[in-house]
Amino acid sequence: MQSAYEIKKEICEIGRRIYMNGFVAANDGNISVKVSDNEFYCTPTGVSKGFMTPDMILKVDAQGNKLEGKLNPSTEIKMHLRVYRERPDVRSVVHAHPPTATAFACANIPLDEMIMPEAILFLGSVPVCAYGTPSTDEIPDSLAPFIQSHDTFLLQNHGALTVGHNLMNAYFHMESLEFYAKVTLLAKQLGGAQELSCGDLEKLMELRRKFNVPGKHPGCKKCDKLGTSECRCKDNAAPAKEAAHVCTCGKHDGGNNDALVAEITRKVLQALGR
């Protein structure tokens, strides 16, 4: 079990990482760690996360009242405490403003394209929570529709929030989120990414179960029931020589590339003046 000093030191280290990675600017962002049902270490307000020292970290109770520390807690502590109340499995919360992910949040675009196995395994789709005024209950309230099924959230016109079973896990979710956002943006600039089929998603969800990955996961964004007996995504034989995945959930092409090939061919012929 970590000592109080070790927890505070780790919070400072994660603060330094989010600052050095450009996930926050100036005094942005906040971090917390749960140590008991009524004790939480958190970062102070008005301090750069890249320059914190263990003596700056303070302790609050479940209502946000300061128990220890000379500085004042982050004004966003309400958001953290709501997560801890709703999700007993969560032991740490990280809030930051990673630029690419935050751009998606400002554009009100969820990260829900199933294009990267790692993101699918550990994040799933990432929703956009409705805008709320910072430091008020509006932001904690905006998490309500998603908090039981996600560990990673975009905060509209604000930033991102990630949770985990420990601090490093919550931080890695933030790193993975920003990388996923960067790849998604680049793929869009290249004309759009090819999403994985429901069959591929099923295999990844099976790996997640096999690895016993902790935390919440939204499952298949196609029919929202991937991996359960209610999933409508089936692997059916296709008339082609090689079996192709056909999805019956009616929300995507399930891996059928005929339309894509036809469109590419049309554009090539158009470019050639034919």
Helices (H), the chain: 4-20, 77-86, 99-106, 117-122, 138-143, 167-189, 198-211, 258-271
Exposed, middle or buried by CB within 10 Å (0-12, 13-18, 19+), for 230? Answer: exposed
Between CA 10 and CA 170 the distance in angstroms is: 12
Cβ neighbourhood burial of 70 (10 Å; 0-12, 13-18, 19+): exposed
pLDDT at 219: 80
The set of residues, in sequence order, having a beta carbon less than 8 Å from that of 274 and lying 6+ positions away, is none
The pLDDT, as a whole number, for residue 122 is: 95
What domains does the chain contain, in order, with CATH numbers?
Answer: 4-189 (3.40.225.10), 215-271 (no CATH)
Burial of 196 per CB tally in 10 Å (0-12, 13-18, 19+): buried
The strand order across the sheet containing 66-68 reads 66-68, 58-60, 39-42, 30-36, 92-96, 159-164, 152-155, 128-129
Strand 58-60, strand 66-68: pairing: antiparallel
Distance of CA 165 to the CA centre of its chain: 14
138 noted as active-site residue: no
Nearest in space to 165 (alpha carbons), one of 95, 213, 97, 218: 213
Which residue type, as a one-letter code, is found at position 85? R
Reduced DSSP (H G I as helix, E B as strand, rest coil) percent helix, strand, coil of the chain, to 5: 40, 15, 50
- pLDDT tens digits for the chain (274 residues)? 899 999 999 999 999 999 999 999 999 999 999 999 999 999 999 999 999 999 999 999 999 999 999 999 999 999 999 999 999 999 999 999 999 999 999 999 999 999 999 999 999 999 999 999 988 999 999 999 999 999 999 999 999 999 999 999 999 999 999 999 999 999 999 999 999 988 899 899 999 999 999 999 998 655 555 455 555 554 432 333 333 333 434 444 444 445 554 555 565 455 545 5
Number of CB atoms found within 10 A of residue 212's CB: 6
Whether the Cβ atoms of residue 152 and residue 173 lie closer than 8 Å to each other: yes
pTM: 0.82
Q: What is the pLDDT of residue 229?
A: 58
Q: How far apart are CA 177 and CA 101, in angstroms?
A: 7
Terminal-residue alpha carbon distance, the chain: 71
Residue type, 182: K
The one catalytic residue among 76, 113, 178, 195: 76
Query: Which amino acid appears at position 256 of this protein?
Result: N
